[in-house]
Structure 1
Amino acid sequence: MDGETSGGRRRRYDPARRDRIIDACLQVIGEAGVAGASTRRIAAAADVPLGSITYHFADADELLREAFERFAHRVSDRFEEHMARASTVDEARQAVVDLIDSDVLVDPQELVLTHELYTLAARDPRYRRLTHEWMARSRHALERHFDPATARLLDALIEGLTIHRALDIEPHEPGETRHAVDLATRRATHRGDPA
């Protein structure tokens, strides 16, 4: 339903506007980094007036934090869904391989968003809380299949290999990721195995 503004103009009812601004913020950061994510540019990407940002968010930092929180949850949800499909230790190992080779941070924008979040987390405890929660969710998903020590190791392996694969300009050998995952899980106890 339209509302009346103080200037007598009709204001379009737009209940999805706040969500659209958050998604536009992520889009702009993915394209230009945090330094290039001005509120003006975000408003243009969301196709909203600049004043909509100050209406929906206390300041630019609140928008930034909510955007990164949405991004972290989105990637974590995908990670958890992927690991939940595995029902044997070998399926769990293959799921980790697939996450590294083709499912996590394959989108160049996601890679930029991840690095921008890590940079913020290195300086600001509020963003470190987001990265901590993200890592905890990843480890929890891995612990459905592996003991906690192996899950922590795999989480670090996924992170490191994903970044290396994304940034390396040389092709990787077939089977390289599977070999690394097999080494990391060689002595692991599988959660679903009988004692």
Structure 2
Amino acid sequence: MATQAERTAATKSALMKAALTIAAAEGIKNVTHRKVSMSAKVSVGTTSYHYQNLDSLLLDAFNQYIDESRDRYEHGVSSARTPGELADALIEMVNRHHSNTLEAILMYELYAQAGRDPRYRALVQRWSRATKTAVEHLYSAELATQLEAVVEGVLFQRLLGDSSLSDRQFRDLLLVILGQESTRPQQAG
């Protein structure tokens, strides 16, 4: 039998998942306690018991989303040892992210909210630091920033769907960028 703490964690997890699903499908502004409770299959009272306001629910949900996204990203790029392996890992990550349209939209909902609210901006900055740090085992922080900009641009192009680089074109571009400096561990200092 589950403990009270385990039940609370499971309920909060279901509420966060529901909030993110609604945010992706309808936009952050359309997330309500009622919609979250219906999606999570709990009472509105349960929703408001665990989260007095939607801001705290959405912040918790986006924090969890960033942590899960970071873990997937780091797992994908951390094993890369050559420019080709890193390019392939980034392409795979973009394709995986793009194959889930709601998840791709959710990332841009987070970015849009970050433009309005410094708490969300801190989440985006945390995501950005994590993506760059994952690449810095091979390349400089400057190059990691360039890669982040290109990957984000390709994700956005693919989300909109009217024009984007093919995987081959994307890989060629990544290899050009990665060829700007040699593969080397970063010096401590």
Same fold judged by TM-score > 0.5?
A: yes
In structure 1, the residue matched to 2:22 is 28
Structure 1 distance, partners of 2:131, 2:164, is 27
Mapped pair 1:57 → 2:40: no
In structure 2, which of residues 146, 150, 160 is the aligned counterpart of residue 153 of structure 1?
Answer: 146
In structure 2, the residue matched to 1:6 is none
Mapped pair 1:182 → 2:170: no
Larger radius of gyration: 1
Counterpart of 1:150 in 2: which secondary structure?
helix
Q: Does structure 2 retain, via aligned residues, the 8 Å contact 1:106–1:166?
A: no
Q: Deviations over 1:143-195 (max 9, x none)?
A: 112121111100111111111122123464451101110121121232359xx
In structure 2, which of residues 65, 69, 82 is the aligned counterpart of residue 71 of structure 1?
Answer: 65
> Which stretches in structure 1 are left out of the alignment for 5+ residues?
3-12
Q: Deviations over 1:11-63 (max 9, x none)?
A: xx943111111111111112211122111011000000001111111311100
Per residue, is there more helix in 1 or in 2? 2
- Indicate the RMSD between aligned Cα atoms, in angstroms: 2.1
Give the percent of matched residue pairs that are identical in Structure 1 and Structure 2: 26
Q: Give me the TM-score of the superposition, normalised by structure 2.
A: 0.88
Residue type at the aligned position of 1:58: Q
Aligned length: 182
> Which stretches in structure 2 are left out of the alignment for 5+ residues?
none
Q: Does structure 2 retain, via aligned residues, the 8 Å contact 1:30–1:110?
A: yes
In structure 1, the residue matched to 2:36 is 42
Q: Give me the TM-score of the superposition, normalised by structure 1.
A: 0.85
Q: Deviations over 1:89-136 (max 9, x none)?
A: 321222223223x12343111122111111110011111000000000
Structure 1 distance, partners of 2:98, 2:109, is 13
Structure 2 distance, partners of 1:152, 1:190, is 16
